[in-house]
Amino acid sequence: MNDTIAAIASGMTASGIGIIRISGPEAFAVLKRIFLPGRAADREEGEESGQETGRKARGETGGENDREVRRADPSVYRANTIHYGRIRDPGTGEIIDECLVMVMRAPRSYTTEDTVEINSHGGPYVMRRILETVTRSGARPAEPGEFTKRAYLGGRIDLSEAEAVMDVISASSDDALKASLMQLSGSVRNRIGEIRGKIMNELAYIEAALDDPEHMDLTGYPEELREKLIRVMEEIEGLSSTFGEGRIIREGILTVIIGKPNAGKSSLLNALTGEDRAIVTEIEGTTRDILEEKIRIGGMLLRIIDTAGIRDARDQIERIGIGRAREYAGQADLILAVFDSASALDENDREILRLIRGKQAIVLLNKSDLPVSLREEELRRAIDEETGEETGAGTGAEPDAGTEPGTGQGTEPGAKDTREDTRERVPIIRISAREMTGLRELESVIRNKFFSGNLRFGEETLITNVRHFNALKRAGESLRLVSGSIEQGLPEDFFSIDLMDAYSALGEIIGEEVDDDLINTIFSQFCMGK
Ligand code: GDP
């Protein structure tokens, strides 16, 4: 980790400014080899054209010269200052670009090392030329994520914060950005730290008592530990349970739009995206291909898949579409089922309804601007008939709802009815895709379905990363083993092993107790220059 690395930190497309970042003990030395600070650059050109005499004639003093020497030597630049100048190829003497250079000193930089950021013009070619010059002058090209890896190895951030850096970069909705920023400011680290602290206390106590049985008595301790563990397990469970919501915030809600031909699926997609992306036509069955469209509504990200209408397929292409519609309906987090309120309910509609069995769905009664042929009450009855789960009298047994963590609140089976009340799981909203009405309500129904609202107020630590989720699960399992040992009346040193396992599993989240392979895998998924 002692060498000096460099990479282009900005995107490789033509843009106003490009940033080449250098980090490591040689960062200033590298800069010195290639940088002509503003004044020195001017003078060099001045000398060539004989203007230096003019400078002398103006009576500029030796003091000024001293200052120029200082300007010319980046190794004496003050931390967090910016300097104008040019990048020169030290081999050929050729000027490559005009730039501003930012200097940060260890340990107060992103990487905790001496860091230089060259702000050049943002052309891919010029940036590459500068990077080449930098790497020929004492730095080596950085690997993906290597700057952040150094920040982590330098102890400035923990692993959960490093991962949050990437999440901030890839965030594509307000919610995703907010969740990543909370993690970047240490929300996961703090919660994990608290829980680990509690486990460590118990480990230390057991250890001390076993070492010094004359002065420390463990009578009654196992019961006490069991009580404490219940609370710790609840905390872990609580954190894990945010993962469903967290995953959806990070990845978006995988949404599928279904409905018979001409119900208005493409029009709905267009209304939501605000652009004419899908092909809308009155000829039945034209939406043959599947379009995935990422759209943001109210800070949420929907990944919408629009599929071919569901009906008896007449040709091959359409059959593929319908097959996929079924497949996607099976995988989707949310189904938007579109019905045409201007035409009577038919067997195609009923088939659509059967696809939303056991799923989180919103029924959209479209074309509310036209005279009504399909009433809401009739549709509700059909929904109950086609999708309502047989709940049995108050058994509470539900095959499907709530098995995915957090993909919705599930449903409360009615205690007396034998059929589920579908109103909660399958709300109906009257919309007009043409007039763009009802879309606000759709937005708030989606939010209520998927999000607890804690994110809005920044109250809750959200687990968005599957690696964290799995580690939490393992920690919970180890603690359950401790409880089991207590129940079986096993000696105290049995507790320590599983407590230690739980402690280590939690440590993996923040990057303590992880091996190099895992670290390398995580950072290799980062983007170049970060
Ligand atoms: P799809 O086959 O389900 O994708 O349906 P389209 O989006 O292609 O819509 C079929 C026809 O219904 C088109 O002529 C649309 O303009 C029309 N349409 C869609 N939504 C509405 C609406 O809310 N009101 C009215 N009046 N017509 C609509």
Which ligand 1 atom is nearest residue 269's CA?
A: 7
Residue 343 Cα to ligand 1 middle (Å): 12
Smallest CA separation from ligand 1 atom 9, residue: 264
Token readout for 103 is 């200097």
Number of H helices, E strands in the chain: 19, 13
Ligand 1, pocket-test mutation among 256, 257, 262, most atoms within 8 A of CB: 262
Q: Are 411 and 421 in contact (CB under 8 A)?
A: yes
Which ligand 1 atom is nearest residue 287's CA?
A: 4
Q: Identify the segments of the chain with pLDDT beneath 70.
A: 1, 39-72, 275-292, 306-325, 390-420, 453-459
CB atoms within 10 A of CB 370: 13
Which ligand 1 atom is nearest residue 432's CA?
A: 23
User: pLDDT value at position 497?
Assistant: 94
Measured distance CA(526)–CA(530) in Å, rounded = 7
Q: 76: which DSSP letter? A: G
Q: Rounded to the nearest 5 degrees, what angle is found at the Cα of 327, between the Cα atoms of 321 and 332?
A: 115
**Which residues does residue 347 pair with via DSSP β-bridges, in sequence order?**
none
DSSP string of 200-265, one letter each residue: HHHHHHHHHHHH-TTT---TTHHHHHHHHHHHHHHHHHHHHTTHHHHHHHHH-EEEEEE-STTSSH
The identity of residue 386, as a single letter, is E
Pairing of strands 81-88, 35-37: antiparallel
User: pLDDT value at position 425?
Assistant: 84
Which ligand 1 atom is nearest residue 435's CA?
A: 23
Nearest CA among 247, 348, 340, 336 for reference residue 293: 336
Measured distance CA(151)–CA(1) in Å, rounded = 11
Enclosing H/E stretch for 97: strand 95-104
User: pLDDT value at position 40?
Assistant: 52
CB atoms within 10 A of CB 494: 17
With tokens 């010269």, the residue in question is: 65
Q: Are 488 and 226 in contact (CB under 8 A)?
A: no
Smallest CA separation from ligand 1 atom 25, residue: 367
Contacts of 423 (CB under 8 A, 6+ apart): 380
User: pLDDT value at position 86?
Assistant: 95
Smallest CA separation from ligand 1 atom 10, residue: 262
Measure the CA dihedral 177/182/186/191, to 10°: -130
Smallest CA separation from ligand 1 atom 17, residue: 264
User: pLDDT value at position 459?
Assistant: 63
Which ligand 1 atom is nearest residue 268's CA?
A: 7
Which ligand 1 atom is nearest residue 368's CA?
A: 23
User: pLDDT value at position 499?
Assistant: 97
User: pLDDT value at position 471?
Assistant: 96
Measured distance CA(281)–CA(459) in Å, rounded = 46
Tens-place pLDDT, residues 236-279: 999 999 998 888 888 899 998 888 888 888 888 888 877 555 55
User: pLDDT value at position 402?
Assistant: 41
Long-range contacts of 480-485 (CB under 8 A, 24+ apart): 480/233, 482/225, 482/229, 483/226, 483/229, 483/230, 483/233
Enclosing H/E stretch for 337: strand 334-340
User: pLDDT value at position 52?
Assistant: 43
Token readout for 58 is 């103006």
- Ligand 1 contacts (CB < 6 A) are 259, 261-267, 280-282, 287, 309, 366-367, 369-370, 432-434
Residue 262 Cα to ligand 1 middle (Å): 6
Measured distance CA(315)–CA(322) in Å, rounded = 11
* Edge-to-edge strand ranges of the sheet holding 300-306: 291-297, 300-306, 253-258, 334-340, 361-366, 428-430
Which ligand 1 atom is nearest residue 263's CA?
A: 3
Smallest CA separation from ligand 1 atom 13, residue: 282
Q: How far is CA 157 from the centre of its chain?
A: 17
Smallest CA separation from ligand 1 atom 26, residue: 367
Average pLDDT, the chain: 83
Residue 366 Cα to ligand 1 middle (Å): 8
- Looking at domain 5-142, its CATH superfamily turns out to be Probable tRNA modification gtpase trme; domain 1 (3.30.1360.120)
Q: Are 176 and 167 in contact (CB under 8 A)?
A: yes
Residue 110 Cα to ligand 1 middle (Å): 53
Ligand 1, pocket-test mutation among 265, 272, 280, most atoms within 8 A of CB: 280
Contacts of 215 (CB under 8 A, 6+ apart): none
Residue 317 Cα to ligand 1 middle (Å): 22
Contacts of 260 (CB under 8 A, 6+ apart): 309, 310, 311, 340, 346, 348, 349, 352
Residue 263 Cα to ligand 1 middle (Å): 6
User: pLDDT value at position 406?
Assistant: 43
Q: Rounded to the nearest 5 degrees, what angle is found at the Cα of 403, between the Cα atoms of 421 and 269?
A: 70
Q: Do domains 5-142 and 162-242+460-524 have the same CATH topology?
A: no
Residue 370 Cα to ligand 1 middle (Å): 11
Enclosing H/E stretch for 195: helix 187-211
Please give the CATH topology (third level) of the domain spanning 253-450.
Rossmann fold (3.40.50)
Measured distance CA(146)–CA(153) in Å, rounded = 10
Which ligand 1 atom is nearest residue 338's CA?
A: 3
Smallest CA separation from ligand 1 atom 19, residue: 264
Residue spans of the domains in the chain: they are 5-142, 162-242+460-524, 253-450
Residue 297 Cα to ligand 1 middle (Å): 21
Residue 348 Cα to ligand 1 middle (Å): 17
Smallest CA separation from ligand 1 atom 8, residue: 280
Q: Are 22 and 131 in contact (CB under 8 A)?
A: no
In words, the CATH class of domain 162-242+460-524 is mainly alpha
Residue 157 Cα to ligand 1 middle (Å): 52
Distances from the Cα of 374 to the Cα of 115, 336, 370, 438, angstroms: 67, 18, 11, 17
Which ligand 1 atom is nearest residue 433's CA?
A: 23
**Which residues does residue 338 pair with via DSSP β-bridges, in sequence order?**
364
Distances from the Cα of 424 to the Cα of 356, 376, 445, angstroms: 13, 15, 10
Q: Are 335 and 302 in contact (CB under 8 A)?
A: no
